[in-house]
Amino acid sequence: MPAPVITRFAPSPTGFLHIGGARTALFNWLYAKASGGKMLLRIEDTDRARSTDEAIAAIIDGLTWLGLDWDGEPVSQYARAERHREVVEELLSSGHAYRCYCTPEELAEMREKALAEKRPMRYDGTWRDRDASEAPAGVAPAIRFRSPEHGVTVIDDAVQGRVEFRNEELDDLIILRSDGNPTYNLSVVVDDHDMGVTRIIRGVDHLTNAARQSQIYAALGWAVPAMTHIPLIHGPDGAKLSKRHGALGVDAYREMGFVPEALRNYLLRLGWGHGDDEIISTEQAIAWFDLAGVGKGASRFDLDRLTNLNAHYLRQMDPGVLADRIIPWLRAEGCAIDAAGRARLVAGMAGLKPRATTLVDLAASAKFYVANRPLALNEKATKLLDPAARERLGGLLPVLDALEGWDEQALEDVVRHHADAEGLKLGQVAQPLRAALTGSSTSPGIFEVMAVLGQQEVIARLADVVH
């Protein structure tokens, strides 16, 4: 029986959950779900100067909002430092690591020489074969991994294919700093091994790390997890994704009014495909996801496409679910929403959804249904409600108050009949009616609005502007 699939998402808590990190988490989650396996969460918080509790909370909140759950408790890499140091001692004992007593000045000289020769900085192996008895007094050593000097290190990657690294280009990296803190590549290997990770899915910018980590695995006699390095996300101009392209934290897209279902769908299609399918449900994604569908080229982030996809999801969403999702925005705007207000939002969704692209749009257009009285009027509504218009509404008020059978058709019939009887065009009544009931000159159909608001609320709002 093959070993159960175990993937992991391992973000560094030095900021919010980046959109690229969210896609990596999604791919790990889908691969685990599609395989009947597990996805683990490891917080790579060894950089104590930059790791913050706020960032950890933001990452967990972002994953939760996206609907990406994980198995077990999140693992802190920093909390496992003693285990990492234990493995470093094993590598020292087996001769796969050594103590390096280079001073900061010597390392700076190596960097300057590499810069002058226009080549990458590589450690020159000064202490690779020297005896510790030659160590200078007062210098705490760093521990370096004894990288193979000849041959190649091969990564058989599910997306990138066979990738070879010449070993002479991979210098002896530090695995334990002189202050006793383990470094990234060593910690990752130990944690992935101890956590039983069978498949690593991460960005292609980690490909060189994969070579270094493979060497450490070999030195320890451990099996190397299967590797998958997915392309990076670029901006619309083809440059590396940055904040100017919209490379914000997931929380920012949430605040802009995107729904997690749409963002998941968009991130899935950003580098993975299933034929010509664009709208892919979570259930379909789990059933269809495989690594063969991951493209090799960089993907381009397009905010307009995400917005269009979000609009589609809003149109398909249950009215009650949508109402509950916009209520926090509306309450933040000062709207006091009771059960009757929520019912109006639900009933009004059919006319609101086609006009909205985000929850922010939707909340803004729905606000009039639950706005506190007397309604605030925008500039156009104020102009429509001149004294003559208010007088016309005053004539309509008793007609509506006496109406039985409060539905769209009955309302349209009675308003048209009243306009005809007064020698008015329908617009001369309907436009100020809309202004009085919504505070705006635009809204869904006025008779739909009246039906949703209900007779009591319509009469009260008209009374506010008539008297």
**What pLDDT is recorded for position 236?**
80
Pick from 286, 197, 201, 283: which is nearest to 21 by CA? 201
| Residue 353 falls in the annotated catalytic set | no
List Cβ neighbours of 211 (8 Å cut-off, separation of 6 or more). Answer: 153, 155, 163, 165, 170
| Identity of the residue numbered 37 | G
Q: How far apart are the first and last CA of the chain?
A: 81
Collapsing DSSP states into helix, strand and coil, what is residue 64? helix
Mean pLDDT of 14-33: 93
Dist CA 172 CA 130 (whole Å): 14
Helices 339-352, 446-453: axis angle to 10 degrees equals 160
Q: What is the pTM of this model?
A: 0.91
Q: Residue 202 gets which letter from DSSP? A: E
Q: Establish how many alpha carbons lie within 13 A of residue 417's alpha carbon, considering only the half-sphere containing its beta carbon.
A: 9
Mean pLDDT of 106-110: 83
Collapsing DSSP states into helix, strand and coil, what is residue 43? strand
**What pLDDT is recorded for position 246?**
55
**Two structure tokens written together for 206:** 């980690």
Dist CA 230 CA 148 (whole Å): 27
Dist CA 167 CA 146 (whole Å): 11
Cβ atoms within 10 A of the Cβ of 445, count? 13
Dist CA 12 CA 356 (whole Å): 35
Q: Are 195 and 42 in contact (CB under 8 A)?
A: yes
Dist CA 389 CA 272 (whole Å): 57
pLDDT tens digits along 279-291: 999 999 999 999 9
Question: DSSP per residue over 163-185, as a string?
Answer: EEEEGGGS---EEE-TTSPBPHH
pLDDT tens digits along 66-98: 999 999 999 999 999 999 999 999 999 999 999
Q: Are 175 and 91 in contact (CB under 8 A)?
A: yes
**Two structure tokens written together for 425:** 């065009």
Collapsing DSSP states into helix, strand and coil, what is residue 233? strand
pLDDT tens digits along 400-450: 999 999 999 999 999 999 999 999 999 999 999 999 999 999 999 999 999
Q: Are 378 and 385 in contact (CB under 8 A)?
A: no
Q: Are 307 and 342 in contact (CB under 8 A)?
A: no
72: left (phi over 0), alpha (psi -120 to 50) or beta: left
Dist CA 132 CA 135 (whole Å): 5
Strand 38-43's sheet: what is its strand order?
6-9, 38-43, 75-76
Sign of CA dihedral 150, 156, 157, 161: positive
pLDDT tens digits along 316-369: 999 999 999 999 999 999 999 999 999 999 999 999 999 899 999 999 999 999
Confidence of residue 247 (pLDDT cuts 50, 70, 90): low
Dist CA 209 CA 225 (whole Å): 13
Q: Which of these is catalytic: 243, 296, 383, 425?
A: 243
**Two structure tokens written together for 251:** 């929380």
**pLDDT at 241 exceeding the cut of 80:** no
Pick from 199, 251, 187: which is nearest to 230 by CA? 199
**pLDDT at 142 exceeding the cut of 70:** yes
Question: DSSP per residue over 428-449, as a string?
Answer: HHHHHHHHHHHSSS--S-HHHH
Q: Containing H/E element for 214?
A: helix 207-220
Length of the chain: 467
C-alpha distances out from residue 213 to 76, 231, 324, Å: 19, 19, 47
Using CA atoms in the order 210, 211, 212, 216, what is the torsion angle rounded to 10 degrees?
90
Query: Where do runs of H (alpha helix) occur along 77-145?
Result: 81-93, 104-116
- Range of weakest confidence among 27-31, 43-47, 315-319: 43-47
**pLDDT at 235 exceeding the cut of 90:** no
Give the residues across from 163 on adjacent strands. Answer: 155
Mean pLDDT of 224-239: 90
